[in-house]
Structure 1
Amino acid sequence: MPDTLSFYREHSPFTDPGEYAYLYDAIPDDVDSMAQAVQGLVYHYFAGQWTFGYQVPPERQPEIDLRYAQRMLARLMELDDAPLRKPREHANKIVGCCRDFATLFCSIARHKGIPCRVRYGFGAYFGDFYGDHVITDYWNGERWVLVDPQMGPEMVQNLHLTFDVMDVPRDQFIIGGDAWQMIRHENADPDQFCVSPDIEQPRGAHYVMSHVLQDLAGLNKAECLCWDSWGLSETIAEDALMTDEATVALIDEVAQLTRENNPDLAALQRLYAEQAFTFNGTVISYSPAEQNPLEVALNL
């Protein structure tokens, strides 16, 4: 897989640390140390308080939209310019979510020459539902390994996890394509795929479809935010999705490709280039930090 591995060793505009690349040099080259470093840099904007007790001030909520690793690192240096491995107060971490843990882990790995990708889907380990989640996978020399860099020791204990978060089983992290296939062919309840069972929306087949698009984008190194929407996610209504045979067939094709362990890179790029799937330079952001959706121009 020389071309594929080279592709995932190189930064995207979202993982490129820019002028802050030197900060990564003090982090050891093993993936455990990279995950530990990331856990000390990001504080989850709503879930963090249930594990650690610190509540994010409202004025800092917009940090969840920093998007680019370079901006995240710049903000970290504003808060505390100590080396990244030095323990930080929660108030000196950037406010983010699972995608930011994953993107920074991916950024560090690529800086160190390790092929790495950001994957979008659902965690089966948050309770009796499939929770919206983003993690990574990296090439260990023999296979792609799923890693959840958000799951530090406290979260592992709180969630009573019995598997290795540095080698997450595929039945514990359900990538977008697998979730789509579960709905289409395994009679899975679409409403079980959600942010939280306590939140009515978003959930359902349309929400799963959006994760198929996000995972395709991630595999093309377009590491979007969890609340970014574009293409089919915007153009087809939820109540029309499952009755639109052409759209369902198209999503089936993407799902089947992205759920492969080693999907063909040329095929991924071909599909992503289609109008229904590509960013085209802008996304609609449904950020929790904003009252209304915003059209966001991307630095690509």
Structure 2
Amino acid sequence: MDDLEFYRTQSPVTDPGRPLDLPADPGTLAKVVGGVLVHRDWAATFGVDLPEHRRDEADIRFVAAMLERLGSLDERPPSARLAVTCRDFVVLLVALLRACGIPARARAGFAGYFVDGFNDDHWVAEVWQDGRGWYLLDAQVAGGPPGIYDTGDLDPLDVPRDGFLVGGQAWQECRTGRRDPATVGVRSAGLSGLWEAQGNVVRDLAALAGAEVLPWDSWGIIPAHYDELPEPDRALLDRVATVSTAGGPLRAAREALGWDPRLAVPPELTRRPA
């Protein structure tokens, strides 16, 4: 199976569990996703007073479970949408794109278009178009009403590469001093630095290899704080970051996950319940 065929094929996470009849247009599909999901941290912007217990909806790991909870992909009021995170917008969109035969994959990294001067933890979709190659699509922004996210003149259907840093690129730029680590992280939680980039280096590699984990999944080398990492471990992440930044190829991503047991994705994070 070549790379494009692999990214046309559903992963255990994106498999919808049933046939889907959809228009093969990324922009239209992003609107479909936006009509059934609302970001739990942006719910108030949509006029939704989200009860605390509904924040747990973001723990739904598999697209099939999302669809079972939703019942259909019909647009609904924001209060009736699943309350999720950016990752869920992406995996649902990737599932719909793959169902239409369009190669697509999730990318974990940092967006520089929500807050001036800061690169916030975020996920986007990467979509293949013949004659164009891979391009970035922000499913969360594209699926929402125009202007609600205050991202200026950003085209969410064609996010510039300097607007979204995949995990590996953020790591490389912080490690080499091209970017201040204090400008990379989770602004709402007051978290920044190379440890924040460290997690998305590994999560992005996992997504490239077909394992779309949750944004807070932590295993192996991820929990070890950057300040306490020995230099060989930092060098290992430098190598991983090179694969993430290049976007593979698939064989390289799979090989990289085998470089160290601490990189391998635990099976329970992508194993669908029986």
Q: TM range, normalised to the smaller chain?
A: over 0.9
**1:146 pairs with 132, 136, 141, which one?**
136
1:127-206 matches, within 5 Å, as 127-128=115-116, 129-142=118-131, 143-151=133-141, 152-154=143-145, 156-196=147-187, 198-201=188-191, 203-206=192-195
> Does the 8 Å CA contact 1:122/1:133 hold for their aligned counterparts?
yes
> Does the 8 Å CA contact 2:31/2:144 hold for their aligned counterparts?
no
Task: Point out where structure 2 has 5 or more consecutive residues left out of the alignment.
Answer: none
Tell me the residue number matched to 1:245: 231
SS of 1:102's partner is helix
CA distance in 2, matches of 1:156, 1:29: 25
Tell me the residue number matched to 1:257: 243
**2:109 pairs with 121, 124, 144, which one?**
121
Tell me the residue number matched to 1:5: 4
CA distance in 1, matches of 2:197, 2:211: 18
Aligned-pair CA distance for 1:275: 0.8
Q: Which runs of 4+ in 1 moved over 4 A?
A: none
Q: Give me the TM-score of the superposition, normalised by structure 2.
A: 0.92
1:75 equivalent to 2:66? Answer no
Aligned-pair CA distance for 1:65: 0.4
CA distance in 1, matches of 2:272, 2:249: 26
1:225 equivalent to 2:220? Answer no
Code of the aligned partner of 1:136: A
Aligned-pair CA distance for 1:157: 4.9
Code of the aligned partner of 1:183: C
> Does the 8 Å CA contact 1:98/1:133 hold for their aligned counterparts?
yes
Tell me the residue number matched to 1:288: none
Cα deviations across residues 210-257 of structure 1 (Å, max 9, x unaligned)?
A: 1000000000111011111111013x233213xx22111111111112
Q: Structure 1 155/228 Cα, relative in aligned 2: closer, same or farther at 3 Å? A: farther
Q: Structure 1 153/121 Cα, relative in aligned 2: closer, same or farther at 3 Å? A: same
Code of the aligned partner of 1:5: L
1:40 equivalent to 2:30? Answer no
CA distance in 2, matches of 1:126, 1:270: 34
SS of 2:210's partner is coil
Report the count of equivalent residues: 269
Aligned-pair CA distance for 1:56: 1.4
> Does the 8 Å CA contact 1:281/1:299 hold for their aligned counterparts?
no
Q: Give me the TM-score of the superposition, normalised by structure 1.
A: 0.84
> Does the 8 Å CA contact 1:135/1:146 hold for their aligned counterparts?
yes
Task: Point out where structure 1 has 5 or more consecutive residues left out of the alignment.
Answer: 78-82, 284-296
Code of the aligned partner of 2:16: P
CA distance in 2, matches of 1:105, 1:97: 13
Aligned-pair CA distance for 1:265: 1.6
Tell me the residue number matched to 1:270: 255
